[in-house]
Amino acid sequence: MENQYCYKYPRPALTTDQVIFGFGEGELRVLLIRRGNEPFKGKWALPGGFMDMDEDAETIESEINNISNSMIVENLGDMLNNIKKANKNINKGQLTLFDIGLEKPSNSFCMNELPEYDFLQKCRFEKDATGMYVSGHPASEIEEAAKKHGAVDIADILDENSVFENNDKVSIYGVITEITRKVTKNGNPMMILKVEDETESITVMMFDRAIQQYASELHEDGLVFIQGKVRGGGEDSSIMLDKVCEMKETPVILWIATPDTSLINIKKLASDFMRENSGLGDYVYVMSLKTRKPELLGEISVTPEVIQKARIKFGNENIKMMFDVEFKTLTDIGNNYRIRHHEKNKTDISNDLHYEYFYKRCLSLISILLKVI
């Protein structure tokens, strides 16, 4: 056979295209590219196209994964400046190498390599850009911990056949999507929260005592566990807030250490401290520096204010924050050194023993975290 194909051009079977809209000078616009292959090479088209005959899905996936969302966003300003520069040259009659048919344009651009956004950052960007979550719902990060403490899905409260009636106690979890501050007819402050989980969203109302106690800790995009009472019923239900605590993606482990060989006194003080600073999601351990045997006391919500109170009550030298420093250290190592083979812009690790050390250090941290939670 003289030709490998029965057609004028190869006919691959896999294609993907996308439509990207944006606003420019007050008008809705759509992004187009010039086709790089025949047929219709050089013509305008939507971004995407057919997989080449000599390409495979794994290679393409690797190339795409090598460009993180953070790289695109953080380099966007430089990319736009580069495009403006190219257009300016064209308007002046200064043709680029691309314009005269050579392989590469003179205004080439290389993106700085950056680590990918974490899950919650990605969710926030997606919601801001599209009005919805694409990668997943942020509330899924705290679902297991919240339901362990009796939280229910919001949809179960709003269902027309819901078992929850007016004035019933209930616990929910979710992300705060909206905070509104108002004043009642009597001149008292009022806060209205919109809280959303993976199933539905519901209105949560706060008044005098709750506002004084919790308002400063609440913010939009915050992940929260809420206890309160149902108001109304069915799809018109709302919640009157009684207690709320912010829940974190990664729990904080608060160690209260003491040189005293007996833990009785420190445990009593720590238990009193926990009652005064209630909450969920973080863990308090006490430990004698002599026996080195930690004991879990329970859960609270660790905030900067709580940490400061603990240092005052137990002494600065007796308070240790577990994991936060270690997580940051390991993250910095992963961001600066070449851990994966395609990360060509990072510092090489020349000794394989260092890889083994990094792997075991990560594994040890995960193992400890699983044991204490």
Mean pLDDT, residues 134-151: 85
Mean pLDDT, residues 125-148: 82
pLDDT digits (tens, 9 = 90+) for 301-350: 777 788 888 888 877 877 777 666 677 777 778 777 877 666 667 788 77
Q: Report d(CA 345, CA 192) in Å as an integer.
A: 48
Class of domain 1-56: alpha beta
* CA dihedral (254, 251, 200, 169) positive or negative: negative
The DSSP call for residue 236 is G
Find the length of the chain.
373
- Do 147 and 199 form a contact (C-beta atoms < 8 A)? no
Q: Could you give the C-alpha distances from 173 to 94, 207, 225, 252, in angstroms and in order? A: 59, 19, 4, 19
The DSSP call for residue 297 is E
CB-based contacts of 333, cutoff 8 Å, min separation 6: 358
The DSSP call for residue 318 is G
CATH of 138-245, one of 1.10.357.10, 3.30.70.600, 2.40.50.140, 3.30.830.10: 2.40.50.140
- Kindly report, as residue ranges, where domains of CATH 2.40.50.140 are found in the chain: 138-245
pLDDT band at 104 (very low <50, low <70, confident <90, very high): very low
- Specify the long-range contacts of residues 359-367, CB closer than 8 Å, at least 24 apart: 361/330, 362/330, 365/323, 365/326, 365/327, 365/330
Question: Can you give the pTM of this predicted structure?
Answer: 0.54
| pLDDT at 21 exceeding the cut of 80 | no
- Do 154 and 181 form a contact (C-beta atoms < 8 A)? no
Q: Could you give the C-alpha distances from 310 to 18, 152, 165, 184, 265, in angstroms and in order? A: 53, 32, 40, 37, 15
pLDDT digits (tens, 9 = 90+) for 146-174: 888 889 999 999 998 999 999 999 999 99
- Name the helix (H) or strand (E) containing 90: helix 76-91
Give the residues across from 347 on adjacent strands.
337
pLDDT band at 88 (very low <50, low <70, confident <90, very high): low
